[in-house]
Amino acid sequence: MSVQARIDSLKTRHATLDTRITEEDHRPQPDQDALNRLKLEKLRVKEEVERLSRGA
């Protein structure tokens, strides 16, 4: 997989996580543990995109 393809894949994953966070946050009783896990994963994905973008 090329670097650009990996970046594109990560950006898609980031958008998916953002959607899942929004959905969970709008539930009547959001699961805070799930929200924290999703937000942490989203941050990790963002950091990897930035790292790959600098090196590409």
pLDDT of residue 56: 58
pLDDT of residue 52: 96
The segments of the chain whose pLDDT lies below 70 read 56
What percent of the chain is modeled with pLDDT above 70? Answer: 98
pLDDT of residue 1: 81
pLDDT of residue 55: 83
Q: What is the per-residue DSSP string for 1-56?
A: --HHHHHHHHHHHHHHHHHHHHHHHTSSS--HHHHHHHHHHHHHHHHHHHHHHHH-
pLDDT of residue 31: 97
